Homo-oligomer: A and B are copies of this chain.
Amino acid sequence: MKENQVVISQLEDRIKKLETLIEATGILALTFNLDNLLDMIMKIGMEMMNAEGCSILLIDEESKKLQFVAASGEKKESLKKLSINIGEGIAGKVAQTGKPLIIKDVSNHPSFSGRIDKKLQQKTHSIICVPLKIKGKIIGVAEVINCRDKKSFTGEGLSLFKSLATQSAIAIERARLYQDLNDLFFSTIETLASAIDAKDHYTQGHSERVSKYSVIIAREMDMTEKELSDVKLSAMLHDIGKIGIPESILQKHSSLTDMEREFIYRHPVLGANILKPIKKLKDIIPGILHHHEKYNGSGYPHRLSADNIPLYAKVICVADSFDAMTSNRPYRKAFSHEESVQEIEKCIGSQFDPVCGDAFLKAYRKGLIEK
């Protein structure tokens, strides 16, 4: 009778843990940002295992070493650059063999090295370390240390942590695939924009720099990750309409006729029109269409002023002007950074939006703006 009660309570406990695991999996599954994901895995791991600490190490494809990518505790940042050889220490052993280890007292274990403990200013007593595998391939390990409730980790705990590791490995792989595609998207756009810039010696690297400056300004304005990503893309593509302008005009070194100038003034509209068919880019098009508007309403194409100018356009306008000033032109030499910054400061309120202009100045003074 009593035995049955024990069995029932054990089974109920296991059900509760499985339910926690399922819930956790759901949370992990919707996280695309790898750093956020790793943090979440650690938190869930520590809570589920009632552990004092948790860390995750992934195998770096190039160096073939295990790299700390996440760790709990205050000193975790110092671990981020630390890597260990496969086969070295407990984590290295697990990464080598693919077999989990549960060690109740590390002090007697031949594989234990105190190096990480020293770095993290912690004292490891007990440890569970499990491999992270995708379709049989080991991509790293996860470990928890020191069970909080005085009892040591159990076989039941190991089995649960193994399940969490399985789900975590999948979530990590997925986040990486998404990130890879996202990186590919951005780097391809950047490359194509650069190739267009490079047609004119004087604009070489222009889009890339404007994009870099724009993100720095936007970050200074506390934009969200999604906004930063949109600003970056919008800035990379801000001059894409120049594809539609004859080279003979773009590259003309003498002064332009009125008609030629008209043509050049059309590039924001041309750029917006090129991208308009892509619904998912609708948030970034205003930045392209309006990056030549001026705060006082004297810009183009729509002579918008002040808050009628879309936010990304106002950011890109500052970045674009700074890059134009600090670059050589056929008809003048580049201004120095200091001169250009002074010019921007002078034009806040006339050409530039005060918030964006100030954010730029702040970033510049912090030393964040470099060519």
Using a CB–CB distance below 8 Å, which chain A residues touch chain B?
1, 4-5, 7-8, 11-12, 14-15, 18-19, 21-22, 25-26, 29-30, 32, 134, 163, 166-167, 170-171, 173-174, 177-178, 180-185, 187-189, 191-192, 195-196, 198-199, 240, 243-244, 246-248, 274-275, 277-278, 280-281
Contacts and interface: CB of A to CB of B under 8 A. Distances in A.
A198 B32 CA distance: 37
Contact of A184 (B4, B5, B166, B280): B280
Contacts of A275: 188, 191
Nearest to A12: B11
B178 A178 contact: yes
13 contacts: A1-B1, A4-B5, A15-B15, A22-B163, A29-B170, A30-B134, A30-B170, A30-B174, A183-B280, A187-B277, A187-B280, A191-B275, A195-B274
A4 B10 CA distance: 13
Nearest to A10: B11
A274 B180 CA distance: 19
A187 B7 contact: no
Nearest to A21: B22
A29 B280 CA distance: 24
Contacts of A280: 180, 183-184, 187
A170 B22 CA distance: 12
A167 B26 CA distance: 6
B4 A278 contact: no
B246 A25 contact: no
A274 B187 CA distance: 11
Nearest to A164: B22
Contacts of A173: 30
Give 5 nearest A-B pairs by CB, closest first: A11-B11, A4-B4, A18-B18, A185-B185, A29-B170
